[in-house]
Amino acid sequence: MSAKSENLFMVSLKDAAAGGAVALALFGVLIGMKAEVASGLGGQLGIEYRWAAVAIAVAIVFGGRLLLNLFVWKTDKPVTATAKGFLPSAKPLAKLGKYAMPVFLILAVVLPFLLMSAYGSRGSRQYLDLAILVTTYVMLGWGLNIVVGLAGLLDLGYVAFYAVGAYSYALLAQYFGFSFWICLPLAGILAAFWGIILGFPVLRLRGDYLAIVTLAFGEIIRVVLLNWYDFTGGPDGISGIPRPSFFGIEFERGPGGFADTFGLEYNSIHRIIFLYYLILIMALVTNFVTMRLRKLPVGRAWEALREDEIACRSLGINTTHTKLTAFALGAMFGGFAGSFFATRQGFISPESFTFIESAVILAIVVLGGLGSQIGVVIAAVVMIGGFEFFRGLEEYRMLVFGLLMVVIMVWKPRGLISTRMPSITLSGKKAKGISADLVQEGHG
């Protein structure tokens, strides 16, 4: 016993020392020396040495590796085996999924009233704003889920359609004075139109090439918006975008306003609550349409396309058209969300439509589980909600965020909810979910 544990300790120590040496070689240069314009030297470039920081970094690597060796990697009884028992296994989680849907829905519907009663109309405003933001991302996630999750086309430029929607509303309102309710469908149609225009050349490509080109198209739209100063206002953006009305009734003080019409006392929170319900309904419509389409031939063709494109063509499916419908539909929902974004903010500029937005939406879809609607909701709540909630942590929240992503990807590499539900069953009963191991991710 003692000889064996002694041996384990020596082996671990050696391994940790090797790790420490590698860390020293790397951090000695990376952390240890910092080129700086030293003020004492009259503006000359000097090198500042930080050996204490190097020592800490090396000590962390050495210590960490030693502990991991002793308790996880080299021992017969790794602690992770014990820890695994505490992690929730997939089965009860799937059961949870059955009840999660109605619970989430009821919670989403009563949320404004819950918040109002808990924090009062003044205090609940920031939480409502956060809820609107999260719901917007849920809608965007659901829109992108059609393209990435169902059709298996990796789209890195989804934010372009969000931008098209937002600018469509802003410009139509600015130049023609159209109201939100006219612009909403127009914005969706225009975004879908752009989806088709971009889709035609792009969808011949597959895999990495498709990803790169969609990324480029996303950037092109932003750069055009930025540089076409006469039309879009360039970096100044567009301000004074009209607020939405309650089907013609404005949210304003005085006679004829929303509060007056319904005999309420005027409160600015009314508009926020209205915006919340607006985006909630828009998101639910997105969800409803997607769920319906999944059970229709076109939805099955999307999923078949993700599984095997060549087999699809051998069965007489026009893959170009099928891809285009997915692309256009995803773009349309992005456009709806975009015009909502414009009317909520009252001001838009190209700043809001950078690549990082596409990346966040894609991350929501991937973390939630490709093709899973409820997964997108959970991921959006955790990511966007968590992101805003931990604003107090300042730069460390990025660290926490990164760590969280790594943990999810190790624990559930195919996203939180990764089982696929069949779209139709022969028995008529609810079929068992299909394990993610069997489902393809799509190749382009």
Partner 1 sequence: MSSWETNPVLTIEHLTMRFGGLVAIDDLSFNVGRGDITALIGPNGAGKTTVFNCVTGFYKPTEGRVVMHRTNGEHYLLERMADFQISAKAKVARTFQNIRLFGGMTLLENLMVAQHNPLMLASGYSLAGIFGLATFRKAERQAVEKARYWLEKTALIDRADAPAADLPYGDQRRLEIARAMCSGPELLCLDEPAAGLNPKESGELNTLLQYIRKEHGTSILLIEHDMSVVMEISDHVVVLDYGEKISDGTAAEVKDDPKVIAAYLGVPDEEVDAVEEEVGI
Q: What residues line the site for partner 1 (CB under 8 A)?
A: 289, 292-293, 296-298, 300-301, 303-304, 307-308, 310-319, 325, 420, 422-427, 431-432, 434-435, 438-440
Task: Report the SS3 class of residue 394.
Answer: coil
Cα distance between the two ends of the chain: 55
CB of 152 to partner 1, least distance (A): 10
Of 319 and 354, which has the nearer Cβ to partner 1?
319
Q: How far is CA 424 from CA 24, 295, 296, 429, 433, in A?
A: 59, 7, 10, 9, 12
Of 311 and 399, which has the nearer Cβ to partner 1?
311
% helix, strand, coil for the chain, step of 5: 70, 5, 25
Of 53 and 311, which has the nearer Cβ to partner 1?
311
CB of 139 to partner 1, least distance (A): 18
Identify whether the C-beta of residue 415 lies closer than 8 Å to the C-beta of residue 368: yes
Of 382 and 436, which has the nearer Cβ to partner 1?
436
Of 325 and 349, which has the nearer Cβ to partner 1?
325
CB of 413 to partner 1, least distance (A): 16
CA separation for the pair 172, 325 (Å, rounded): 26
CB of 79 to partner 1, least distance (A): 35
CA separation for the pair 136, 130 (Å, rounded): 10
Of 152 and 233, which has the nearer Cβ to partner 1?
152
Q: How far is CA 412 from CA 5, 331, 409, 418, in A?
A: 34, 28, 5, 8
Strand pairing of 45-49 and 33-37? antiparallel
CB of 247 to partner 1, least distance (A): 24
CB of 303 to partner 1, least distance (A): 6
Among 365, 380, 321, 357, which Cα is nearest to 143's? 365
How many alpha carbons lie under 13 Å from residue 94 in its C-beta half-sphere? Answer: 12
CA separation for the pair 148, 330 (Å, rounded): 9
CB of 299 to partner 1, least distance (A): 8
Of 265 and 437, which has the nearer Cβ to partner 1?
437
Identify whether the C-beta of residue 125 lies closer than 8 Å to the C-beta of residue 269: yes
Of 122 and 432, which has the nearer Cβ to partner 1?
432
Among 275, 272, 271, 327, which Cα is nearest to 298's? 327
CB of 284 to partner 1, least distance (A): 15
Among 199, 200, 220, 201, which Cα is nearest to 155's? 199
CB of 377 to partner 1, least distance (A): 22
Any alpha helices (H) in 203-318, and if so which ranges? 207-227, 229-232, 258-261, 269-294, 297-307, 309-314
Of 84 and 98, which has the nearer Cβ to partner 1?
98
Q: Tokens standing for 301?
A: 């063709």
